[in-house]
């Protein structure tokens, strides 16, 4: 095979791989069920990628025992794949249960796929400023960072006048989530675009 043909085939394979990644993300954004996720953002900076908001969702920390415990399975280890059953609501979503398999999520609920970051037996209670014995699960969904134009990341971290930051996300049939838009007080501030 000639050298120029090898180069063309290699370039075509690279373009196809990039197109597949873009198509996968667009599939999630276009076909997924849209839900609002409540956040607690912070604003670090990446030297290579610019400003971004690191997002922590109310559904990222799941209580496994106590009054506010979610249902489902109880035993998890770090890096386990989990399926969180969500009940959509106009004000956001509520985690109803967490499971080891997709099949265990009730059909009338939205299934979001995540990875266990850690399991903790103690949690800091802000009301009493003490460590409380509570079994909790910290879950990562793959939508914990959102890149913004340089110099605008602080607007998400420190909204003015008590604005509330939330995320409009799409969850597809595979349980994969993608950020559609960043909302400030329910109004779109940043919208995800193809380019």
Do the beta carbons of residue 42 and residue 157 sit within 8 Å?
yes
What confidence tens digit (pLDDT) does each residue in 68-107 have?
889 999 899 999 999 999 998 777 889 999 999 999 999 9
| 164 and 130 belong to one structural domain | no
Q: Calculate the average pLDDT of the chain.
A: 84
The secondary structure element, H or E, covering residue 121 is strand 110-125
What confidence tens digit (pLDDT) does each residue in 33-78 have?
888 887 765 545 554 556 677 788 889 999 998 888 899 998 999 9
Q: How far apart are CA 166 and CA 150, in angstroms?
A: 20
| 70 and 130 belong to one structural domain | yes
What confidence tens digit (pLDDT) does each residue in 117-149 have?
999 988 777 788 888 888 899 999 999 888 777
In 105-164, DSSP assigns E strands to 110-125, 130-140, 145-147
| 128 and 88 belong to one structural domain | yes
| 79 and 129 belong to one structural domain | yes
* Domain assignment of residue 22, yes or no: no
Q: Domain tally for the chain? A: 2
| 93 and 132 belong to one structural domain | yes
Do the beta carbons of residue 52 and residue 44 sit within 8 Å?
yes
In this predicted structure, the answer to whether residue 184 has a pLDDT above a threshold of 70 is: yes
Q: Looking at residue 28, what is its pLDDT? A: 84
Instruction: Domain of residue 81: give its range.
Output: 59-140
């Amino acid at each position: 095979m000639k050298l120029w043909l090898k180069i063309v085939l290699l370039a075509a394979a690279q373009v196809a791989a990039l197109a597949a990644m873009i198509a996968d993300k667009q599939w999630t954004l276009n076909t997924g069920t849209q839900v609002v996720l409540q956040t607690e953002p912070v604003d670090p900076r990446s030297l290579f990628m610019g400003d971004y908001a690191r997002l922590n969702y109310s559904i990222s920390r799941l209580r496994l025992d106590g009054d506010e415990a979610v249902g489902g399975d109880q035993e998890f280890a770090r890096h386990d794949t989990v399926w969180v059953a969500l009940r959509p609501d106009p004000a956001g979503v509520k985690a109803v249960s967490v499971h080891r398999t997709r099949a265990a999520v009730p059909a009338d609920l939205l299934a979001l796929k995540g990875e266990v970051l850690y399991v903790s037996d103690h949690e800091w209670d802000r009301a009493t400023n003490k460590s409380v014995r509570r079994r909790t699960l910290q879950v990562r969904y793959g939508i914990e960072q959102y890149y913004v134009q340089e110099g605008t990341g602080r607007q998400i971290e420190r909204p003015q006048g008590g604005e509330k930051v939330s995320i409009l996300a799409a969850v597809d049939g595979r349980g994969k989530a993608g950020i559609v838009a960043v909302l400030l007080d329910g109004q779109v501030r940043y919208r995800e675009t193809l380019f």
